Amino acid sequence: MRHRPGTFSIAVRDPASKAFGAAVTTATVAVGATCPYVSANAAVLTQAFTRTEHGRDAVARADRGERVGEACAALLDADERAEYRQVHGVGRDGAFTHTGAECVEWAGSRVGEAYTVAGNMLAGPDVLDAVAEAYENADGDLPARLLAALEAGEAAGGDERGELSAALLVHAPEPRFYHNLRVDLSETPIADLGDLLAEARLAHEKLVGESDDLLGEYPEDLLDFGVKY
């Protein structure tokens, strides 16, 4: 059944690159518009019956120096529908997971070394185990490892209805435009997200050469676009 709540996702702190990242997929459209949030100090996802304020406000509070667990807990404590929510994430000072009692089965979470994984309406707990294991064993930069985690979750059964959208989001000291990618509607959103990541990397590599050809000499900081969050 399409267009119902349900997802699996991962939130990550990557000490090596000093980056935070999130990746998510679900069986309805435009998951990147509502679920993942990252900043210089946290990565948080809100899902099941999503409330965007929980993700947005949690990372903002982390940026103000609050522990991510305390921030998420305070937001849920003030939410009379908290038992329908699933919220998880990581900060500089630890991790947090919440799966409300009214989340649709199978629902649950995992906490690893500087990452959290959570999902609801899944084929079973093996999905989250696969996501976690793939992330831990993946090579490459943070976007590549986040994509590998989604691919593994899908291979393990994923959302029991199949996926329709996927997204990855990274906040890093040196932002790249492939740090914010979304596939909003597809029968194969994770595969399409992989194609999009590969194409965005290629575009980034070509950017300098094309600018050289067009402009000759120019200030190098013109190419520091940043990333929209």
pLDDT in tens, 156-202: 986 555 689 999 999 999 999 899 999 999 999 999 999 999 999 99
pLDDT in tens, 67-126: 999 999 999 999 999 999 999 999 999 999 999 999 999 999 999 999 999 999 998 999
Note whether 81 and 62 are within 8 A (CB). Answer: no
Query: Among residues 45, 34, 40, 53, which one has the least CA distance to residue 13?
Result: 40
End-to-end CA distance of the chain: 31
Domain ranges of the chain: 7-223
What burial letters (b/e) apply to 78-112, b meaning 16+ CB within 10 Å?
Answer: ebeebebbbbbbbbbeebbbbbbeebbebbbbbbb
Q: Report the distance separating Cα 30 and Cα 21, nearest Å.
A: 18
115 DSSP β-pair partners: 12, 112
Q: 202 Cβ partners below 8 Å, 6+ apart?
A: none
* Residues 154/136, Cβ–Cβ less than 8 Å: no
pTM of the model: 0.94
| 7-223: CATH class | alpha beta
d(CA 193, CA 198) in angstroms, rounded, equals 9
Give the relative orientation of helices 142-155 and 189-215 as an angle to the nearest 10 degrees: 160
